[in-house]
Amino acid sequence: MRVGPGAYLLLSALLFGIGVAGVLIRRNAIVVFMCVELMLNAVNLSFIAFAKVNGTLDGQILAFFVMVVAAAEVVVGLGILVAIFRKRSSASVDDVNLLKG
Amino acid sequence: MTALLAKTTPAEQAELVVFVVLAPVSVLSALGMVLNRNAVYSALLLVVNLFCLAGFYVLLEAQFVAAVQVIVYAGAIMVLFLFVLMLLGIGNEEVLKETIRGQRPAAVVLTVLLLVAVVGALLAGVFEAEPVSLAPANEGGNTQAIGRILFTRYVFAFEAAGLLLVVAAVGALVLGKRRP
């Protein structure tokens, strides 16, 4: 008995699902952000498992770039959160309803 | 169990043991992150999860990405998260009132549907491949091999990523600036 790529993909799917549930359920914008990070990481795990399947390093490079983009996204996202918090004194996603009709 | 283990090499047995230990930890920490009401605990549980993923990357012969995962994710990004958490001073006053009625049950149902679709596709054998050893690709070391293709085939993406990081840094400065 050994660990095939299927086990990693299954785990990746589970983690992605937990991340999706978190984004849909949680109201705190920072926790929603963390759930997005969890989803990105789950996909990274898939990429690296596929790299192992193909026997090439391209999947690992892709995971590396996903990390770069995630870092940029976190910086800008948290900047927006802080800016919103200054205006509204709240980090709940429900309080950002200026565009609501 | 011993008969099952007899057919495998010691390296594969080690991989199995590490996977069996790390997989439940990663899933439980992810669940804890989503379910914990205190955002700081959520952040710390996410760090546990990221460390587990780094372990999986090592198992999958991606040592460089594992190191980057620990340094960038568990180090830099999570520190940024905790910084903002402390800066905003959010306690555990998560609003439990649903703005959209029935959102939470609907969210759980949709997530389960998504999982059924993905796991069903995996179990139906959409993907049944044997892992290939990365030893030829990793010749001279994983980091060296990554560096070789990063600066040849992926050099344009690399430069674009650098530009993206600059734009993100400038954007964060603009967003964080107090306007008079």
Q: What is the sign of the dihedral through the CA atoms of A25, A31, A33 and A34?
A: negative
Q: What is the sign of the dihedral through the CA atoms of B20, B48, A78 and A95?
A: positive
- Tell me which residue range forms the domain holding A72: 27-89
Largest CA distance in chain A: 58
- For residue A49, is it within any domain? yes
* Interface list for B 2-21 with A (CB within 8 A): 4-5, 8, 12-13, 15-16, 19
Query: Tens digit of pLDDT for each residue in B76-132?
Result: 899 999 988 888 876 555 666 667 778 888 889 999 999 998 888 888 766 666 777
- Tallying the residues shown for chain A, one arrives at 101
- For residue A85, is it within any domain? yes
At residue B59, does pLDDT exceed 80? yes
Q: What is the mean pLDDT of residues B12-32?
A: 92
Structure tokens at B143: 């980091």
Cα B79 to Cα B3: distance, rounded to the nearest angstrom: 46
- pLDDT at B57 (0 to 100): 94
How many structural domains is chain A composed of?
1
Q: What is the DSSP string of B96-137?
A: -S-SSTTHHHHHHHHHHHHHHHHHHHHHTTS---PPPP-TTT
Strand, helix or coil for residue A28? strand
Structure tokens at B148: 């070789």
Closest-CA distance of chain B to residue A58, Å: 8
Query: Tens digit of pLDDT for each residue in B32-58?
Result: 999 988 888 999 999 999 999 999 999
- For residue A1, is it within any domain? no
Q: Which residue of A has its CA nearest to B3?
A: A1
- pLDDT at A100 (0 to 100): 73
Q: Which residue of A has its CA nearest to B109?
A: A21
- For residue A97, is it within any domain? no
Structure tokens at B17: 């043991």
Q: Which helix (H) or strand (E) holds A38?
A: helix A29-54
- pLDDT at B4 (0 to 100): 55
- For residue A46, is it within any domain? yes
Residues in A closer than 8 angstroms to B137, CB to CB, are 55-57
* Interface list for B 108-137 with A (CB within 8 A): 108, 110-112, 114-115, 118-119, 122, 127-134, 136-137
At residue B22, does pLDDT exceed 60? yes
Q: Which helix (H) or strand (E) holds B64?
A: helix B63-68
- For residue A21, is it within any domain? no
Structure tokens at B87: 């800066």
Cα B94 to Cα B84: distance, rounded to the nearest angstrom: 16
Burial B119-140, CB ≥16 within 10 A → b, else e: eeebeeeeeeeebeebeebbee
- For residue A15, is it within any domain? no
Taking CB atoms and an 8 Å limit, are B119 and A55 in contact across chains? no
B50 touches chain A (CB under 8 A): yes
Q: What is the mean pLDDT of residues B131-152?
A: 85
Q: Which of B108, B42, B120 is nearest to A20 (CA)?
A: B108
DSSP A89: S
- For residue A71, is it within any domain? yes
Per residue of chain A (101 residues), give pLDDT as tens: 667 788 899 999 999 999 999 999 888 888 999 999 999 999 999 999 989 888 889 999 999 999 999 999 999 999 988 888 887 777 777 777 777 76
- pLDDT at B3 (0 to 100): 56
Q: What is the DSSP string of A7-18?
A: HHHHHHHHHHHH
B172 touches chain A (CB under 8 A): yes
